[in-house]
Chains A and B, each alone.
Chain A
């Protein structure tokens, strides 16, 4: 019982539901209260205890179904009777004992019961069989499975645990004899072995789905987060989308809190007097002054030209994720001219929004000067003393005028100007790069090479509020 629950919680954690130790204890109490009798009741109860948000609930339900999966042969939901099935080996489902070796008989019975043909055993024997195989799989270390290619290995190990050697030895022996009786028995044994193998394989596949796949997925995501942005391939994109969305959520949660900062020691005299008017002006309740933190207001300007083409998908993905979480955000994209991309980011799903932006706005040669000019003429009012201007780009302006005067004016207007540069510092200022010219006006310049870098940089931007 405890083991079944532990395995389930491990699978849950791998799937991304953060179940703490305290919640595990709650789950054990719940289990003791509700029991295994009704599958639906258990699912509903554990869902209440372990999953703490809507997405977690979905994950929980998926993992629950996969973990407490019941084969069609056995309609009875009581799948995990680990304790009562000790006698399963010599159990009641052994009608066709032919060989005389008890170990082989047990395996034959196991194979037969698993297929639902176990004569007297029926569904109960099937449950016992599954429990027995599950136990053998655990002993064989199948919980450690990481890759799909390991399946055959663990199937073999589990079969060995079940004692398949005796059956195979007998099979070889029989195949060497040429009597028809021996041939018939060999055929029977062979069929039983294949059935067993199928049953064990199903169990191992289930373990892989529970433990192997999520672990691999987690590992690949970790690698992708540390990968250079330029090397992020198409295959990484779905993974990146999840990771970036999670990151944007994390940042939003962190920075959406604490809007009021108490100024300790500065008494708000007016409100203190008012609060204590009923007590003859004796100041029992002290009211301190506080200041409101500005909500982050961000104007993001993203380079989508040819020179950053390797990064552009990623930068847009980031803008998209930000747009879903930060409420006061204006996003612009530019190559040779500047465009407002609020519309596509708001309305379309990411793939379409990205295609749209690249098609409509991208591809041209970079012209930072022109971008700042458009910003000045059309959107200057967006930049106020509360605004952080976030520039994503490499600072290579194709030898067009960089319009440093406008950039400087913008820096004066805005609260902060943060430049997230896709190029490494040694390359700043080489060729047509104006990075070193722009840098003095920026509050913060960071080289962003990986997703982790990006998260850190944006965290700092939002921290300033």
Chain B
């Protein structure tokens, strides 16, 4: 077990070293995932760093990241394994030529059959197996991070398929047998909650909910992601984003948008927030036209509040 996983504090520090600012909940989840050998199911609004957590965890532990993006129609041949049909076909062709020689030496049908049966296992063997992300994760020798992204996009049947992998860290291939993971991977599932997940799946996972961060945490996150920003502007922009989330809009800005906005402000060499600047760059934060219209006359008071709050705070 890597030293980074020995305690909750160590995980927080390790994640911070690759630029992911984790709350206690988040680090505890990774800690428990490692020590209880359980997958973590992460739910929460889009853009709060669910996927990023898996990527960062893999980076800081220097584990390979195996990513499985879920979508409607995803099935076992794309998630678990597939037979290399082309290679098998080719093999059959070769076999066809050889088969005459092989069988020719034998006198009776029984003997010929016995001779052939030895080749069948070869046909459905590891040489013809194309491992997909789930099986790949099981086969990693020294640990890995398996990310099953947006599980809510897949169908119910796929959830059932995952149960064996998640509970026992093994994959059963009827023709070969059961392949068990040498080192259980750290499994992270993310969901945007477009549909309710099954109880069976939830029961097998630790459940982590990542919401919008508070102002202090968000400042830390943006600072870690966009290093060049001045503290004054950082405090102002975070205060503004936080206030924006309280407004009555359909899609409030999340952390990803806040980071994008910080980059935008840095690029524009802004030193202080003002109304014109906010109005020009609002489309980085808000992605819906109707929301932008709703906010049209709220920009001025919100900007002022952000500036004043920053003065009080600083």
Contact = CB atoms under 8 A, between A and B. Distances in A.
B196 A49 contact: no
Contacts of B41: 52
Interface in B97-144: none
Interface stretch (A111-119, A127-135, A276-284, A443-451): A276-284
A256 B86 contact: no
Given A20-B203, A257-B195, A26 B38 contact: yes
A202 interface: no
Contact of B207 (A53, A278, A279): A53
A408 interface: no
Contact of A40 (B24, B155, B156): B24
B85 A284 contact: yes
A33 B155 contact: no
A257 to B, nearest CB: 6
Contact of A45 (B32, B40, B202, B203): B32
Interface residues of A, number: 30
B216 interface: no
B32 A48 contact: yes
B36 A30 contact: yes
Contacts of B205: 52
A41 B38 CA distance: 18
Contacts of B28: 41, 44-45, 48
A203 B209 CA distance: 32
Nearest to A48: B206
B85 A253 contact: no
B272 interface: no
B32 A253 contact: no
Interface string B188-217: 000000011000001111111100000000
Residue among B35, B36, B207, B208 facing the most chain A CB atoms (10 A cut-off): B207
Nearest to A282: B89
Contact of A258 (B77, B85, B156, B202): B156
B140 to A, nearest CB: 24
A257 B156 contact: yes
B13 interface: no
Given A44-B24, A48-B206, A29 B85 contact: no
A48 B207 contact: yes
A257 B86 CA distance: 36
Interface string A263-287: 0000000000000001110101100
B25 A48 contact: yes
A23 interface: yes
A57 interface: yes
Interface string A47-73: 111011110010000000000000000
A26 B25 CA distance: 17
A223 interface: no
A30 B38 CA distance: 11
Contacts of A45: 28, 32
Interface in B210-241: none
A22 interface: yes
Given A30-B36, A257-B156, A258-B156, A49 B85 contact: no
A285 B205 CA distance: 33
Nearest to B208: A48
A291 interface: no
A54 B209 contact: yes
Contacts of B207: 48, 51-53, 57
B89 A279 contact: yes
B85 A279 contact: yes
B43 interface: yes
A260 B35 contact: no
A246 B89 CA distance: 55
Given A30-B36, A33-B36, A253-B196, A41 B8 contact: yes
A23 B203 contact: yes
A335 to B, nearest CB: 32
B166 interface: no
Interface string A4-26: 00000000000000001011001
Contacts of A48: 25, 28-29, 32, 40, 206-208
Contacts of A26: 36, 38
B36 A22 contact: no
Nearest to B27: A44
A279 to B, nearest CB: 5
Nearest to A26: B36
A54 B32 contact: no
Contacts of B204: 22
Contact of B86 (A52, A53, A258, A278): A278
A250 B176 CA distance: 41
Interface of A: 20, 22-23, 26, 29-30, 33, 40-41, 44-45, 47-49, 51-54, 57, 253, 256-258, 260, 278-280, 282, 284-285
19 contacts: A22-B204, A23-B203, A26-B38, A41-B24, A41-B28, A44-B24, A44-B28, A48-B206, A48-B207, A48-B208, A49-B32, A52-B203, A54-B43, A54-B209, A57-B207, A260-B155, A279-B89, A282-B89, A285-B77
Given A29-B36, A48-B25, 4 more contacts: A44-B24, A52-B207, A53-B207, A57-B209
